[in-house]
Structure 1
């Protein structure tokens, strides 16, 4: 086990951009739908800035709460995910070094969970195609929380399901709003700079390390 991670009893992983380097594909899929079909007129950077939280929350941030019905938001969300999965599937693999970390954590009896704003459709896409499900005691998805990141509910729910205190957990994240969610939950955070550079994270006091892949731990 990496020395810097020894104090923690549990590893909580965000999924997209943290376990797999796929966030650019999400941005492209959203840009296509938001601009070409829904005529939002957003730049790539503006779409990138919206890449946090649930899909319906993203749509409400861009268009307002009254634009789409829940049924319409679900249809848009599923179409976006289908486009993302089709484009990304040939590149689907773990970020370098993560496989070794997962196996080492399992051997050392470190508890592991996923806390993601993704819907189960996307979580299953990753875990089942890469055969990872056996590493994780619990999975908290968009469907399991009322308020998504940066609200702490996702990560607090992970800790509660593991019967651990927040301070016993370290979070692996790739997005500023995810780091903020960990901070709000009282948890330290390791940041993957897959989509966002260090400059995007300001001075969050709970960041213990920036890495580009898990070999850098």
Structure 2
């Protein structure tokens, strides 16, 4: 597709790597837990490939189903999120230009939602820490869905919460699995190149284009 000439009726944002550039801190937190605490023989690049979905899904992909009890998964998840927030907090900031983009969308009365695999604890950390909750009409978190991206449930629930047809929603994503989720939901997508290279998105027909941040002038075509 690769064409910004699309007038969406709603904007749906992934969070990590899309509204904030924090994926390095999520990956580093898991990398240290997996290698230092759990003794996994993994390099950083291998851990980075698993950075999608819910925490228990990440652990199950790396270590196998049944390796940890529910209580152990909960303990590891809490530890990971505390490490992530501690590491990222000094750098907490919206991706360049997003504050103006949100303001412009709000003025244009375009509804907006977050559709993320993050838990509410982390979403609140960002949304309230950056004071952007007033821009958002809905938030769909990991706790709100049965199946994570690339399943379309996250984005379909966000669209339903806004009362907008999926085909009229525009998704902002930074990860291939997120783009696939948007594709499965019947939604076009713009990719932030914060976390993955353009080559990693080959084969997704729903991508309108790529941006490095929200200062890209071609975003003006969306209004």
Matched, 1:76 2:88: no
Task: Give the equivalent residue in structure 1 for 2:67.
Answer: 67
Task: Give the equivalent residue in structure 2 for 1:36.
Answer: 36
Task: Give the equivalent residue in structure 1 for 2:128.
Answer: 128
Task: Give the equivalent residue in structure 2 for 1:169.
Answer: 169
The within-5 A match list for 1:173-192 is 173-192=173-192
* Unaligned segments of structure 2, at least 5 residues: none
The within-5 A match list for 1:59-208 is 59-208=59-208
Cα RMSD (Å) of the superposition? 1.2
Residues 4 and 209 in structure 2, CA contact (< 8 A), matched pair in contact too: no
3-state DSSP class of the match of 2:128?
A: helix
Aligned residue pairs total 215
Matched, 1:51 2:51: yes
Residues 111 and 136 in structure 2, CA contact (< 8 A), matched pair in contact too: yes
CA distance in 1, matches of 2:94, 2:164: 27
TM-score normalised over the length of structure 2 = 0.94
Residues 54 and 142 in structure 2, CA contact (< 8 A), matched pair in contact too: yes
Structure number with the bigger relative contact order (C-alpha 8 A, sep ≥ 6) is: 2
TM-score normalised over the length of structure 1 = 0.97
